Amino acid sequence: MSKLRFTITMSLDGFVAGPNQSEQDPLGVGGMELHQWLFPLKAFRELHGEEGGEVSASTPVVEEWFENIGASVMGRNMFGGGPGPWGENPWNGWWGEEPPFRHPVYVLTHHAREPLELTGTTFHFVTDGIESALEQAKEAAGGKDVALGGGADVAQQYLAAGLVDEMEISVVPLFLGGGARLFDNLGEGKPALEQVRAVEGSGVTHLKYRVRSA
Amino acid sequence: MSKLRFTITMSLDGFVAGPNQSEQDPLGVGGMELHQWLFPLKAFRELHGEEGGEVSASTPVVEEWFENIGASVMGRNMFGGGPGPWGENPWNGWWGEEPPFRHPVYVLTHHAREPLELTGTTFHFVTDGIESALEQAKEAAGGKDVALGGGADVAQQYLAAGLVDEMEISVVPLFLGGGARLFDNLGEGKPALEQVRAVEGSGVTHLKYRVRSA
């Protein structure tokens, strides 16, 4: 059965973005440090069309993130652009002309917009809630899994609704001291977790869990 | 050189005790679940004078916690008893007549009290602050390391002061949703971390870090 899977990098003190996030600085103060373990990896560089890079214990973990994924769901901030209506010539987001997804992406927003077709990836804008977005993504995934892109608020909404099946948290040795806390607002029906595996990387540890609604 | 080391078990959402902590329920709602991975271990049972138990990937980790430790520092809540003066017949704490420490323990408190000598362990009560307690503990440890016992508030004070050398966080697959958050109030000079190792246990992952003052 098609699963909703989610992978994210978190500081040891629980943040997935630093303080003072803004449209210009979506990762907040110090937030870019979260991802320093990822950038040198061959598995990451390939995905962005770059050559070379390192192979490490994190390599099979990162490769697995993208295996058997047929569609993605993400929040509007992760697509790109701030809140509010899209305007007449809406921005096409952070991801450039050839986004790395190469499958349909469902963007949660309060403001309707026609689908945006870029090379290899079409963004669909969903205004009727997280369950509708997941349903459309599963339909589009054709039996494959759906990746939940983030950010923290979107992950929290899906976790609180008991809709996440699997997640991998990459914990980095870093204190951000503030910003977007990943595991917040989980509500009363906190999901139950089962540890699947832990992988020690270089400057990161990957913790994988199965999630069950409470 | 004598190090200040600290080990604690934390829920995936960052808590070391659940909501509604009280004198009667110091671990708060759901807090006892944090330690379910530890209780069946032979290494833990032996420390409390019990026979039998399991040997697992967590065994060398737990054994290491107690190696080369010459003294401990802990907060008053962890010793036992609430805030306020000790009274005329003060309680001797959670730890029974033969506490598992078997070395001098320095208890941080605002209220002076004579040392309490139990079988194998003497508790000293320190009223002049965390640096004084650490100094006394290092002196008593005679070249061995000092264990920082907790709870969260004491760990935070030592971390914020840049006095912790090493810590091992055992992360369990559990959402507590509230309670005592371990990595809070770290102040502006957030310590820098270096990942030493990660060990995958059964229902727990042990993350060990070196800590450097910022």
Convert the pLDDT of each residue in A129-175 to its tens digit: 999 999 999 999 999 999 999 889 999 999 999 999 999 999 999 99
pTM of the model: 0.94
Question: Would you say residue B91 lies in a domain?
Answer: no
Instruction: Give a yes or no: residue B180 inside a domain.
Output: yes
Asked whether residue B92 is domain-assigned, the answer is no
Query: Are A175 and B195 in contact (CB < 8 Å)?
Result: no
**Which residues of chain B have a pLDDT value below 50?**
none
Predicted pLDDT at B48? 80
pLDDT tens-digit series, residues B45-56: 988 889 999 999
Residue range of the domain that includes A206: 4-16+30-82+98-212
Residue B185 φ/ψ, nearest 5 degrees: 55, 40
Determine how β-strand B116-118 pairs with β-strand B121-126: antiparallel
Residue A91 belongs to some domain of the structure? no
Residue B15: strand pairing partners = B181
CB-CB under 8 Å, A204 with B195: yes
A90 in any annotated domain: no
Q: What is the pLDDT of residue A214?
A: 60
The ipTM estimated for the assembled molecules is 0.93
C-alpha to C-alpha distance for A184 and A181, rounded to whole angstroms: 6
What CATH number should be reported for the domain holding residue A59?
Answer: 3.40.430.10
Coil/strand/helix, residue B212: strand
How many CA atoms are closer than 13 Å to the CA of A64, on its beta-carbon side?
14
Residues of chain A found within 8 Å of residue B193, distances taken between Cβ atoms: 12, 173-175
Section A194-199 average pLDDT: 98
- Asked if residue B90 belongs to a domain, the reply is no
- Would an 8 Å CB–CB cutoff place B12 in contact with chain A? yes
How large is the average pLDDT for residues A206-212?
96
pLDDT in tens, A109-134: 999 999 999 999 999 999 999 999 99
- Residue-wise pLDDT tens digits, A41-93: 999 898 888 999 999 999 999 999 999 999 999 999 889 876 778 888 888 88
Number of domain units in chain B: 1
